[in-house]
Structure 1
Amino acid sequence: MKKVTIGILAHVDAGKTTLSEGLLYQSGTLRKLGAVDKGTAYLDNDNLEKKRGITIFSHMARIKNENSELLLLDTPGHIDFAQEMEETLGVLDYAILVVSASEGVTAYTQTLWNLLKSHKIPTFIFVNKMDTLKANKGKVLQDLSTLDDNCVEFGGEDSEFYEKIATADEAILEEYLESGQIKDEEIKDLIFQRRIFPVYFGAALKLKGVAEFLQGLDKWTKKIEYPEKFASRIFKISHDEKGERLTWLKVTGGELRAKTELMPDEKVNEIRLYNGTKYQVVPSAQAGEIAAISGLKTTYPGQGLGFERDQTNFTMQPVLTYAVQTVPDKMHATLTALRQLEDENPQLHVKWDKQAEEISIDVMGKIQLEILQQILHDRFGLKAEFAQGKILYQESIKDSVEGVGHFEPLRHYAEVHLLLKPGKLGSGLVFKNECSLEVLPKKWQDQVMDSLANKEHLGVLTGSPLTDMEITLVGGRGSNVHTVGGDFREATYRALRQGLMELKAQNQVSLLEPWYQFTLRINREQVGRAINDIEKKGGKFEIGESDHDVVTITGQAPVAQMQDYATEVRNYTHGSGQLECLFAGYRKCKNSAEVIESINYDPVSDIYNTPNSVFCSHGAGHTVVWNEVPDYAQYPYLQS
């Protein structure tokens, strides 16, 4: 029997969890159909999910069909929890994209589609809520064609169906014209290669079309072949009701056995196979299996084991940072609790400012804040408030420079030369090594590259994270007598900061701010007000087609200007307007001088990220400020 991992994704309120319930019930996994609005959904089993009526955490269920076992991952639909959704993509064989017939392809549907495309995940589409008054099959199919022309209705295989399939591949088209037939295996291959996207229609709440869709998943999915060598990918960290830390992973090669040491001093204790909240403990997990592992302490979502590489460059990123407020005697307990939640969601980026005695966290939006507040109360017995959110800026560079860092206190020695170059928009930080082994031995080069990879590097304008840069090791020096562990780490960080300060002096460092992609639905008479607002906020927009008296405006605008606009929209539309905002990436900050002045960051005084170097003379180490380092060091290395 083939085992297929399939994730279910959707815009919030499209009926994703209702479809999951329907699939479980139709397959016989559930004897009684649960309901989201009644808090009885099988997969929304967390108390917070039952109260809110939304999926907050990814959940797993098992569906046994005639020819397959589907490992179903139900993912969060609300944008504030999109990080957890994205983390599951790395383990999926297939995806189900649920689209509401009444809303069609929304901006978030497009975002989900782009993510599935970038991860190359074969996708089935279920058009839900076909029993509503607004449902129009022809219009929905036309809407889906904006995602891809090869979204094809399945379920009624006739000549028109096969003609549509055939046009996706020249060889198959030629075969079809000659024989009038297309083999099922060829259709499976086209789906798996993302050249055909099966579309099914139904109403999950009334179980219409669910049985046919389940049969389609059984029929049109392929058996995945895995290598014999062990590997796995981690997609989730959680804690059970007893506080046991669980590492959720998919075995992507070989076999995972209990008591295996996966990393130094970290051994697999239990291997659990979950179905909803219930699980069984097994001695081993084979390739293709999803398992929750106890006993591991330092794993993280996106981590690859064996031949799998880490997935670190997630698209869904927080854009707001909030200060956490609690009573003074609970500060340490709150920080400890937030560290555990950060273990489950690393993008919380919990920060502790020792001088100000302040905790801060990064979040996607206010709904996530409300959930965090409730989790702190329910799970840890802590009460917390959150101060007004600040924008998460980033920094990049506009020109190239060679930075040098030197670390030579008494009985220590290391020097590092890094070439900093602007990277492509959205590329993040890229680390390269072009240093000759004749210049710097491999063991020291490895220390430099590890140091670059193991820290969040900050800019020199506001202390915000760096992005869109190439950082290349080009040279350095060490001492067989005096160089000890940590020396190259110190020299590496100083080299990066020294180069940034050189560029800052030349006005070649730029501040970037996050932008939203927004969709605004309002009544026709309020369009003038909306356009005026968007222009004032520095946004760009397009007015789409109107549906009766409702007009849709789409566009992009800075997060700083849009973060409270949803409240404004609710007020001036008396609750009828809808604003949906999605993170759209970073762009050059228009009022950067004002932002830099307000943050008032001093890069030279940042003792944890100093641009200065340490040299030794007369038997003692002394600090050399960044702009004087070139006169002391072997600099520039590229021209030496």
Structure 2
Amino acid sequence: MRRAVVGIAAHVDAGKTTLCEALLYRSGEIRKLGRVDHGDAFLDTDAMEKRRGITIFSKQAILQTDNVAFTILDTPGHVDFSAEMERTLRVIDYAILVVGANDGLQGYTETLWRILERYNVPTFIFINKMDVTGADKESLLSLIRHRFSEGCVDADNIDGLDRDEQVALLDDTGIAVNQLLDDGRIQDQTLRRLVNERRLFPCFSGSALKLKGVDEFLAGLERFTSARQYPQDFGARVYKISHDNQGNRLTWLKVTGGSLAVKDSLSNIRLPEDPDEGSSPVGTYDARTGADTPWSEKIDQIRRYSASKYELIDTVEAGEVCAVTGLTRTFPGEGLGFEDDADAAVLQPVLTYTVWPGADDDNRLQSVEAVNSVETARDSAADHVGTRDAHLPSGSHDRTAPIKDGAGHLAPEVQAAEVTPELHHIFTALRTLEDEDPNLGVRWVPRLGQIQIQLMGAVQQEVIVQMLHDRFGMDVHCGSGGILYRETISASGEGIGHFEPLRHYAEVHLLLEPGQPGSGMRFRSKCSLDDLDRNWQRAILSHLAEKEHLGVLTASPITDMRISLIAGRGHDKHTEGGDFREATYRAVRQGLMELKRRGACQLLEPWYRFRLEVPQETMGRAISDIQRMSGTFDTPMYDGEYAVIEGRAPVSQMRDYSNEVNAYARGRGQLNCVFDGYRPCHDAQTVIDRMAYDPETDMENTPDSVFCAHGVGYTVKWNKVPDFAHVTAKTDNGH
């Protein structure tokens, strides 16, 4: 029997979960047909999903036909949970894209199509809700072909698909045409190949709620899917982390090679493929993965889930999806065995929110009100001032540095926020949720005494608040969202950190180099083992990867850089584990300060790629708005009475623009925005001035070093550190 993992994706309310329910029912996997709006759908097992009537977490179900064993993965349809959806797409063999006949081709549906194209996923299309008044299948199919591909072919008459000349012409090899001419039909093997090559996209239609067209669609899935070939060597892709009701940590993965058995050991250690990167005896670290230290752990259980129920199995073969227990260091997107870690997601959060204790209606403490008053006076991006990716201090007597106003002076009405046990518990709970969704980016901000998280939007914010209440018994609320800025560099430079209080010693020299946009942070060693012991080099790389380093312009996280260890020194007697941590952190900051002095530090902001569809008479207004928002756009296109404008614009300018579009287009406009990466900030100096961040007074992230003379440690300012350094580093170019 063939195996196939099929993911179902759609715009919210297109009927995706209802289609899953219908497929399971018609295949005999479930006896009762549930409904999303009634809260009894087989795959909507979470209480929040039942209340809201939307899918929040991806779910798995097993479906068998005569010839194929399908694993169905139902993914979230709301854009706020698109990260969960995108991670799931990495492990599927085929996708079902559901389009609602009542809504037409929504902007988010087009985004899903582009993501499926990026991951090269063969796709079936199901046009749902054909029972609604006014549903026009032919018009919608024509639009799908126009927007997606000419390979989107009507497959409702499944027996006629192999005699369709249009299908034969999709095959560049000419095999399909020859088969049609010689035999009067295209062989199923050829049709499967065209589907796998993303040349043919069979389009079915019906009503999942009324079970119309479901049998034909299921027959099409069985007929046009084929068995995948997998290598003998072990490989697996992790797509989800969750916790069951007993608190067991579950790693959801698809085995892509070999097999996996209970008590097998898994590890994140793999040999580097890049000779340049692999030349170091220490290795390379990719900060996007979070794999800062090697690990090896054993599998305790292997579970095969269908909705909330599971069976324990001893072995899982290549091509199967399962959940395993016993792994504590895995993360969504990780590759195991021969598989590489996933690239950065297309859809990423660009907003940051502050989490406060207490329900939204609770009265805040006076100090909290004061902090809010300062935040209100600043740009929303000021949420990032003084951020340090460190564990929340425990205890109720730790205090942060005082908060300053926009001019850099102490705000007289603001007292340093107290780290209460309540904040500590909230932080710990959020870290558990971050383990399941790394995009949350949970941070403790000492200077502001705040916990901050990164979210996609308001619906995800509400869900996080509800999850903290339901799973951890905590009542919290979130402040207004701000823009998540980042920083990078435009030139190379050396950073030096020295930490030598009495009876301690460590010195680190780093080479900071700009990386390609979207490359994230890369860390490697180019230091000889003759100059610095292997264990100390590993410690330095680990310290580089263990935290989110901050820039010196606005204290925003740095990105798109490669940091190389080029020299260092320890002391056999006086060097302790934490000494290299201090020296490494200070070296990064000192290098950034030197680059800032040279004007080589750069503020980045998130940008959207947008598609704006408005009536032609309002096109002038739309173009004027895009120019006002510092955006760029291609030559407008015309689709009937509508003008279509595609381009790019800063998130800070366009995040609320949909409300304006609805107003001036009188409900006839449509705006679709997708994260398009980070670019130089369009009003960088304005943001920097508004943030008023002083890196030299940020003691949590100091660029200064500590030296020792006559038994006494003393501080040396960052710009004088090279004159006091004990080691001279030499880079590739001899400098």
Are positions 1:26 and 2:30 aligned together?
no
Q: Structure 1 stretches of 5 or more lacking a match? A: none
Residue equivalent to 1:77: 77
Mapped partners of 1:606, 1:64: distance in 2: 60
Deviations 1:596-633 (A, max 9, x none): 12222222333343323334444454433222222233
The CA deviation at 1:82 is 0.6
48-57 or 181-190: bigger deviation = 181-190
The CA deviation at 1:454 is 3.0
Residue equivalent to 1:627: 719
CA contact (8 A) 2:526 2:566 kept: yes
Residue equivalent to 1:316: 347
Q: 1:388 to 1:405 in 2, by over 3 A?
A: same
Of 589, 604, 621, the match for 1:497: 589
Residue equivalent to 2:206: 202
Mapped partners of 2:542, 2:182: distance in 1: 59
Q: 1:189 to 1:523 in 2, by over 3 A?
A: closer
Residue equivalent to 2:39: 39
The CA deviation at 1:145 is 4.7
Mapped partners of 1:292, 1:64: distance in 2: 20
Q: 1:7 to 1:535 in 2, by over 3 A?
A: same
Mapped partners of 1:94, 1:218: distance in 2: 12
Mapped partners of 1:384, 1:397: distance in 2: 37
The CA deviation at 1:65 is 1.0
Deviations 1:491-523 (A, max 9, x none): 433333222211111222111111233455667
Residue type of the alignment partner of 2:213: G
Q: What secondary structure sits across from 2:217 in the alignment? A: helix
Mapped partners of 2:621, 2:38: distance in 1: 39
The CA deviation at 1:379 is 2.9
Residue equivalent to 2:242: 238
Q: What secondary structure sits across from 2:454 in the alignment? A: strand
Q: 1:496 to 1:225 in 2, by over 3 A?
A: same
Residue equivalent to 2:122: 122
Residue equivalent to 2:451: 359
Supply the RMSD in Å over aligned alpha carbons.
3.3
Q: 1:438 to 1:244 in 2, by over 3 A?
A: closer
Identity of aligned residues (%): 51
CA contact (8 A) 1:377 1:383 kept: yes
Residue equivalent to 2:173: 170
177-186 or 452-461: bigger deviation = 177-186
Of 257, 267, 282, the match for 2:261: 257
Residue type of the alignment partner of 1:18: T
Q: What secondary structure sits across from 1:48 in the alignment? A: helix
Mapped partners of 1:585, 1:88: distance in 2: 21
Q: 1:440 to 1:195 in 2, by over 3 A?
A: farther
The CA deviation at 1:336 is 3.0
CA contact (8 A) 1:162 1:182 kept: no
Mapped partners of 2:161, 2:539: distance in 1: 63
The CA deviation at 1:363 is 0.5
Residue equivalent to 2:411: none
Q: What secondary structure sits across from 1:207 in the alignment? A: coil
Q: What secondary structure sits across from 1:199 in the alignment? A: strand
Residue type of the alignment partner of 2:308: T
Of 270, 283, 287, the match for 2:314: 283
Q: 1:330 to 1:528 in 2, by over 3 A?
A: farther
Residue equivalent to 1:96: 96
Mapped partners of 1:77, 1:177: distance in 2: 39
Residue equivalent to 1:217: 221
Mapped partners of 1:565, 1:419: distance in 2: 42
TM-score (norm 2): 0.78
Of 496, 508, 529, the match for 1:404: 496
Residue equivalent to 2:11: 11
CA contact (8 A) 1:150 1:168 kept: no
Residue type of the alignment partner of 1:3: R
Q: 1:585 to 1:238 in 2, by over 3 A?
A: same
Q: What secondary structure sits across from 2:697 in the alignment? A: coil
Q: 1:194 to 1:529 in 2, by over 3 A?
A: closer
Residue type of the alignment partner of 2:688: I
The CA deviation at 1:576 is 7.1
240-249 or 10-19: bigger deviation = 240-249
Mapped partners of 1:438, 1:199: distance in 2: 64
CA contact (8 A) 1:238 1:247 kept: yes
The CA deviation at 1:434 is 4.3
Residue type of the alignment partner of 1:271: I
Residue type of the alignment partner of 1:128: N
Mapped partners of 1:395, 1:501: distance in 2: 13
Mapped partners of 2:225, 2:4: distance in 1: 8
Residue type of the alignment partner of 1:164: V
The CA deviation at 1:9 is 1.2
Residue equivalent to 2:439: 347
CA contact (8 A) 2:58 2:84 kept: yes
Residue type of the alignment partner of 1:140: L
Q: 1:450 to 1:176 in 2, by over 3 A?
A: farther
The CA deviation at 1:46 is 1.7
Residue equivalent to 1:58: 58
Q: What secondary structure sits across from 1:44 in the alignment? A: coil
Mapped partners of 1:326, 1:311: distance in 2: 35
CA contact (8 A) 1:105 1:144 kept: no
Are positions 1:561 and 2:562 aligned together?
no
Q: What secondary structure sits across from 1:426 in the alignment? A: coil
The CA deviation at 1:103 is 4.8
Are positions 1:140 and 2:141 aligned together?
yes
The CA deviation at 1:86 is 1.4
The CA deviation at 1:172 is 2.8
372-381 or 496-505: bigger deviation = 372-381
Q: What secondary structure sits across from 2:89 in the alignment? A: helix
Mapped partners of 1:602, 1:493: distance in 2: 17
The CA deviation at 1:193 is 3.6
The CA deviation at 1:274 is 1.2
441-450 or 1-10: bigger deviation = 441-450
Of 430, 436, 452, the match for 2:522: 430
Are positions 1:582 and 2:583 aligned together?
no
CA contact (8 A) 2:18 2:36 kept: yes
Residue type of the alignment partner of 2:653: Q
Residue type of the alignment partner of 2:730: Y
Deviations 1:554-598 (A, max 9, x none): 543322223344455566778776554332222221221221122
Residue equivalent to 2:394: none
Q: What secondary structure sits across from 2:17 in the alignment? A: helix
How many residue pairs align between the two structures? Answer: 639
Q: What secondary structure sits across from 1:91 in the alignment? A: coil
The CA deviation at 1:55 is 1.1
Q: What secondary structure sits across from 1:29 in the alignment? A: coil
Residue type of the alignment partner of 1:170: T
Matched ranges for 1:411-560 at <5 A: 412-437=504-529, 439-440=531-532, 442-478=534-570, 483-519=575-611, 533-540=625-632, 545=638, 554-560=646-652
Q: What secondary structure sits across from 1:250 in the alignment? A: strand
172-181 or 375-384: bigger deviation = 172-181
Mapped partners of 2:174, 2:570: distance in 1: 61
Q: Structure 2 stretches of 5 or more lacking a match? A: 268-294, 359-419
Are positions 1:187 and 2:188 aligned together?
no
495-504 or 398-407: bigger deviation = 398-407
CA contact (8 A) 2:9 2:76 kept: yes
Of 300, 324, 333, the match for 1:269: 300
